[in-house]
Structure 1
Amino acid sequence: MSEELLEQLEEWHEEDEFEEIVDAIMEIPEEERDYVLISHLGRAMNNLERYDEAVELFLSIQDEGKDDPLWHYRIGLAYYYLDRYEDARRAFEVADHLEPGDEDTLEFLEWIRSKTAPKPAEQPIVMSHADPDVLNFWDDRALAADQYTSAPPSDDLIESVEEALVFKLPASYIQAMKLHNGGIPRNRKFPIGDGAQEYIEISGILGIGRDKKKSLCGSLGSRYMIESGGYPEIGVVICDCPSASEVVMLDYRSSGNDGEPEVVHVDKANDYKITRLATNFDAFLGGLS
């Protein structure tokens, strides 16, 4: 195996050209693919969300990978996105033992604990036309409210925005936006961690549309914030924050583009740290205080 090929594989990986990696390695006869090449192939399969194939590849080099923290991390990632949380936990725990303190490994372990730990029932906000709290939720007198708030979206507009974003918006989000399409909530803090003083703060919630600057497809909307801020391509930005280095996003990594996304906070100033806030949009609204 040439150094030139390895350099090319790494270059493709950095450029997100994962199909190129798969095609190049698959052209090499199977009997000539060593541990390094199969590791590259498995990583590319993970990045292409072909997790079942990735697991098969990593298991084929299990003996060679037993002392390699990257092998355990990569197969753990595949297990995680296949919802095989116990297999993923074991893999990440070994990775952490072999390379203690790796932030990505610890983050996956925390996500697994969050997904598998018993949780009290979350009480979502149900916004109905008959509910007087709908009006009390929003601060329409705020100076910047007009940058966010649009008329209720039509079904055609919702469909076209979803097509542009490449993600299906949660039903609870659509329901809320049909009642009040974006704006500035009166309560804008969401608690994180165990300390009473720990919270993130949002500036507003982006509505469904294009005309307002701070709507999902507006000039300062989701795609603009992701591209200009270098945020991870994990879903849709639904809230901006007082700090220009923070956003709140719908995270589709576990659910797929058509599933029910979690709500996360992304901190650009802290190496794009992702903190899970709520299991769904309703629970996020219910947690604002």
Structure 2
Amino acid sequence: MFDQSEESEWVGPPVDSEMIRRAESVLQVRLPKSYVDLLSVQNGGVLHNRCFPTAFPTSWAPDHFCVDVIWGVGGENGIDVLSPGLVTEWGYPAIGVVLGLTPSAGHDTVMLDYSECGPLGEPSVAYVDEDRVPKRVADSFAAFRDGFVSCRTYGDEED
């Protein structure tokens, strides 16, 4: 899932159970197992395939959006450090946790959406555009992780 060809400031320190516990405490949610499993391979980073198809138009394109980075936990660029402030700063809906960085750097985002399952449940993933209305794009983080495609699919030159 992550681009292994470049070093990145977005890759956090190796994950252990204490880091996950601290992140969950700060965020006041249980992180999805599929997300935690991904972080055990690499603690966040730049994505290899960055485009995610949608059945609705986004501010990015008529049929997809782009995500550059999925954040890990801990460190200065962890989800537990960055997400809470961004929800306030950008006026995102209070549905959960910001997952990473899009090319717009805040005008749109992707979030773990706990609004239906509660803080201990399995969240869906929602795209939040400039209108700040969350739109479900995946029923789980695992489905989101597996749904990315090459941006070349849409005629973009870069992934």
- Is the structural similarity TM-score above 0.5? yes
| Corresponding residue number in structure 2 for 1:239 | 100
Normalized against structure 1, the TM-score is what?
A: 0.48
Tell me if the contact between 1:206 and 1:239 (Cα under 8 Å) persists in the aligned partners.
yes
- Structure having the larger proportion of residues in helix: 1
- Structure having the larger proportion of residues in strand: 2
Q: Deviations over 1:164-219 (max 9, x none)?
A: 0001101111011011110011101100017896101111001011x233x1123x
CA distance in 2, matches of 1:233, 1:246: 14
Tell me if the contact between 2:93 and 2:134 (Cα under 8 Å) persists in the aligned partners.
no
Q: 1:283 aligns with which of 143, 148, 153?
A: 143
> Which consecutive residues of structure 1, in runs of 5 or more, have no partner in the other structure?
1-136
| Corresponding residue number in structure 1 for 2:3 | 139
Q: 2:38 aligns with which of 172, 176, 179?
A: 176
Q: Which amino acid aligns with 1:207?
A: G
Q: Which amino acid aligns with 2:85?
A: Y
Q: Which has the larger radius of gyration?
A: 1
Tell me if the contact between 1:147 and 1:212 (Cα under 8 Å) persists in the aligned partners.
no
| Corresponding residue number in structure 2 for 1:202 | 67
Percent identity reads 34
Q: Which amino acid aligns with 1:206?
A: W
Moved over 6 A (4+): none
Tell me if the contact between 2:112 and 2:125 (Cα under 8 Å) persists in the aligned partners.
yes
Distance 1:160 1:194, change over 3 A: closer
C-alpha displacement at 1:146, in angstroms?
A: 2.2
> Which consecutive residues of structure 2, in runs of 5 or more, have no partner in the other structure?
150-159
RMSD over aligned Cα atoms: 1.8
C-alpha displacement at 1:155, in angstroms?
A: 0.6
Structure 1 residues 114-193: aligned runs within 5 Å: 137-142=1-6, 146-193=8-55
| Corresponding residue number in structure 2 for 1:39 | none
Distance 1:235 1:194, change over 3 A: closer
Aligned length: 145
Q: Which amino acid aligns with 1:166?
A: Q
Secondary structure of residue in 1 paired with 2:65: strand
| Corresponding residue number in structure 2 for 1:227 | 88
